A and B are shown apart, each in its own frame.
Chain A
Amino acid sequence: MADVALLTLVASRLQADPPATDAGELVLAALQGVDALAAALRGDAGAAVHVVDRGREPLAPAVYLSSLEVEGFRGIGDAATLTIDPGPGLTLVVGRNGSGKSSFSEALEMLLTGTNQRWKGRTKVWQDGWQNLHHRHTRVKAQFTVDGRRQALTLSREWPDGGAVEASALRIDGKAAPSLGQLGWTQPLAAYPPLLSHNELEHSLDEKQSILYDALAGILGLGELVEAQHRLKDARLAMERVAKEAKATSQQLIRVLEQTGDERAVTALTALRARRWDLETVERTVGARAEGAEHSTLQRLRDLRSLEVLDRDALMTDIGDLREAAMMRDRIRDTDAARADETAKLLEQALAVHTHSESQDCPVCGTVSVLTYEWRLKTAERVAQLREDAASVIKTRRAVQEAMTRARRLITALPASIGAAAGTGVDVEQVTGAWKHWRDAPDSDDPRQLASHLEMYGPPLIAAVASVREAADAELQRRERSWRPAAEAIVDWLPLGKRARSGEASLARVTAAEKWLRDAHDALRDERFEPIAAAVQANWSELRQDSNVSLGTLSLAGTGNSRRLQLDVRVDGEEGSALGVMSQGELNSLALSLFLPRASLPESPFHFVVIDDPVQAMDSSKVEGLARVLERAARDRQVIVLTHDTRLADAVDYLGVRATRVEVVRGENSEVALRRVHDAVGRYLDDARAVANSTGLPPEAARVIPGFCRQALEAACALAVTRRMLYDGKRYDDVQTELARPTTLKMWLALALLKDADRGGDVSDYLRRMHPWAVDIVEDCNRGVHGARLLRDMKGFVRGVEKLAREIAPASDG
């Protein structure tokens, strides 16, 4: 069964560009499965294209993540919730090493897949810490907003206390579910994985080329074409195997036949040595009608064996009949049947005349008184005798005639088979002689002569024929004995030979089908991969920044074991071996470049992507590129990036990329807190306000407020400087260098306001002129940081700091 869309696509390509020979039917059959292919190869009518809508998962609607609640998993103890605005946009989850970021993303992975990339290819020990040590109840729950659905979708996975990691129970909207299949997520999770763990980021490119290929080829939706290619290949290999085997065994058969001195062996040999095996002829040599040519020795021998022979009893009967007929003829030799008949007629007439006459005198001669009663009786008797004599003469004549005819019929001509017996190995001299005598019968019509001839030459003929038949039979048996092994060998071999020959015709078709499908697959693959490759390129050129490695064409190439992700890489213009030349940071960038386009494909229902720590091995200029890449991805996807490296958040700030920031802090007992923060300035001000507004704190706690205020001002200065420098076209690295210079608040202000960190001494004058109200604020920040007690209203102080900070750097999202 094949997918309708794919089958239609293939069918239309077949029409536009038909393969050599009529292999198109095989291509379509191969797409539908092994059985269909086998039927098509047999030429079954049932192999007609039979399209079925494959039982696919329903196409899942787009989903965004809205919250992720994790409890008792890895570094997270009591339940902690990461809340995210559903919809496209960038969210940065920032926290120090060990703050629990990866625990969140791995928990989500657990929820969706029931396992973890982190454990892949590692020993069992890596799994052991999956449950939090401080909180022994483990549960992960996520909410998603679903396109076209009013309420949120809730997925949860819960582990029985003390249970194994595999023992989790999945629930969809509160109801137990065996898998995510009902959501239509199983396939997309494999094809468009929305999570990129750090482990994958680091190692996905270490994988074997074929695995990289598969990971990308999977999203192209051409898997069925690959399967169909395999089916055709298997069919071809099977045929080739049969052909090879038939060929090899035919050589053995030929050797057997060569050693068999039988004409059938010769026939079979000729048939087998022909350019193309003549299997019908070979088969006939062992068939029921195994006569070779019409005048073959075998046939002649069979004819001799079945020579008709005189029946001795019939011969004797005929001889007896002849002799009896002769005797009968002797008996009536002097009888004149005609005269007797005439006389009988005359006497009958006399009797009739006498009956009507009273006289006893003879009317013919006149003799008186002779026609007495006595005369009457005697005459009637004599008439009967005469009539009888006449009949027996006729009967005897006929009997003699018949006996002679029957006897002569026995004397047949010499059978052709005896005449043609030369070379059969059967001696026919004697029988020929006997037959010659037999034929040489006397011409007379004397039955006795004929009887003697039969008596003399019949028995020797019978004996001679019998011995010829025996000799022929013996010869036939001798030949059969020597032929049998050869015949058996032929019978054994024939089915294979037939399969090989019927495969021969198909082989060409299958080969053509296979080639056509491979070409079609490669063309479709390249077509479909192109936009992805383009997106990868775009990402790479953003991320590579100063890297001297440039990425040329990117494509999926090869088939079978040689399939690979083809990356043309140039180092300073020189061609290099793809992955070998890349640094760890470049590899990470490339892995990310590959991941994002795949996760952003329109076919994927997952409109969220979670990336764990992509920044680690990157230097600052790449981080800036990363921020841009993420910004672009976030235009139509919900991009969630977990990182310990603040440079990404910085870059996002400076570049004015809209992003939500969430900070993760992990306290004692695995208590994990998450807070959404604005920009750095806002965060410091929040901190300051929170302390100023808290009741019940010891008065000394207020000593930290000036510190936060100073940080807020420094952050505002950094932001202002960065914006200005980037606006002026400076490179991000230069900005970083500049920002590393100020060590005091005055220097920060000088850099931001006077464009020169070294003019810290002029800051107070400047402020007095431009923002007189701010002079004291700056002084108090500095003094307060070192513990000086400030004699002023703290809340008002924070408000003043905020005003100054926003003067220096207006809020980006305000």
Chain B
Amino acid sequence: MAEPDAHALVSIARDLMRLESAGSAGLGPRAAAMLGRQALELALDAVWERTAPGMGRMTARCQRLCLGTLINDPVLGRRVEWAWHLLSDACHHGVYDLAPAVPDLLAALESVWALADSAERLRGLASYRS
């Protein structure tokens, strides 16, 4: 089975949002957030692969700080930063965390999708250059 890309994970995450569990409320949103986080990591890796190989080894915080500049899109950089926080919160135990609110989650996934888009565009540029 081929490794899925960020786009694939984001669409699966959107599907997962409707998942329910008998023992907890908000399984869907939590699962979606978790997958969204993984999609964000994949998308970031894809971006670094094309723009700045080696960035992937830096700390997560450092990576996010540089993102806007490196993809030349500060707005998307900030959106990803925000999505990162939202999705990461859902992945660590914050003592008694609640599932993220659906509208927030949808917006975060949208940002991840956009980052994956820009990774694709960078790949296009790279292949054009080579």
Identify the closest chain A residue to B15 (Cβ): A698
**25 A-B interface contacts by CB (under 8 A):** A98-B101, A646-B94, A647-B96, A662-B25, A663-B98, A665-B102, A668-B102, A673-B25, A674-B25, A676-B23, A677-B24, A677-B25, A687-B23, A687-B27, A689-B21, A698-B15, A699-B1, A700-B4, A703-B38, A707-B91, A710-B91, A712-B93, A714-B93, A786-B38, A787-B41
Majority secondary structure, B binding face = loop
| Apart from A667-B18, A687-B30: 7 A-B pairs, beta carbons within 8 A | A649-B96, A665-B102, A689-B21, A690-B23, A711-B97, A714-B92, A739-B95
A96-B98, A700-B4 known; A787+B38 contact, CB < 8 A = yes
Q: Which of B9, B21, B25, B37 has the most CB of A within 10 A?
A: B25
A666 engages B96 (CB within 8 Å) = no
Q: In this assembly, does A675 line the interface, its C-beta being within 8 Å of a C-beta of chain B?
A: yes
Q: Identify the stretch in A173-181, A238-246, A256-264, A678-686 within 8 Å (CB) of chain B at 4 or more residues.
A: A678-686
A665-B29, A690-B19 known; A99+B101 contact, CB < 8 A = yes
- Return chain A residues, CB-CB under 8 Å to B116: none
Q: In this assembly, does B125 line the interface, its C-beta being within 8 Å of a C-beta of chain A?
A: no
Q: Report the minimal beta-carbon distance from B99 to chain A, rounded to whole angstroms.
A: 5
* A-B pairs with lowest CB-CB distance, top 7: A686-B23, A663-B25, A675-B25, A690-B21, A714-B93, A665-B26, A646-B96
A694-B19, A701-B31 known; A675+B95 contact, CB < 8 A = no
Instruction: Write out, one digit per residue, whether chain B residues 95-109 have a CB within 8 A of any chain A CB (1) or not (0).
Output: 111111110000000
Q: Report the minimal beta-carbon distance from A662 to chain B, rounded to whole angstroms.
A: 8
- Return chain A residues, CB-CB under 8 Å to B114: none
Residues on B lying within 8 angstroms of A by beta carbon are 1, 4, 8-9, 12, 15-31, 34-35, 37-38, 41-42, 91-102
Question: In the complex, what distance in Å separates the CA atom of A701 from the CA atom of B9?
Answer: 9
- Return chain A residues, CB-CB under 8 Å to B25: 95, 662-665, 673-675, 677
Q: In this assembly, does A691 line the interface, its C-beta being within 8 Å of a C-beta of chain B?
A: yes
B95 engages A646 (CB within 8 Å) = yes
Question: In the complex, what distance in Å separates the CA atom of A707 from the CA atom of B9?
Answer: 15
B31 engages A691 (CB within 8 Å) = yes
Q: In this assembly, does A97 line the interface, its C-beta being within 8 Å of a C-beta of chain B?
A: yes
Question: In the complex, what distance in Å separates the CA atom of A185 from the CA atom of B93?
Answer: 45
Question: In the complex, what distance in Å separates the CA atom of A682 from the CA atom of B93?
Answer: 13
B91 engages A711 (CB within 8 Å) = yes
Q: In this assembly, does A514 line the interface, its C-beta being within 8 Å of a C-beta of chain B?
A: no
A690 engages B95 (CB within 8 Å) = no
Give the contacts of A626-683 with B (CB-CB under 8 A). 644, 646-647, 649-650, 653, 662-668, 673-678, 680, 682-683
Question: In the complex, what distance in Å separates the CA atom of A711 from the CA atom of B1?
Answer: 27
Which of A664, A673, A682, A718 contacts B23 (CB under 8 A)?
Answer: A682
- Return chain B residues, CB-CB under 8 Å to A690: 19-24, 27
Q: Report the minimal beta-carbon distance from B31 to chain A, rounded to whole angstroms.
A: 5
Q: In this assembly, does A715 line the interface, its C-beta being within 8 Å of a C-beta of chain B?
A: yes
Q: Report the minimal beta-carbon distance from A795 to chain B, rounded to whole angstroms.
A: 15
- Return chain B residues, CB-CB under 8 Å to A691: 19, 27, 31
Identify the closest chain B residue to A739 (Cβ): B95
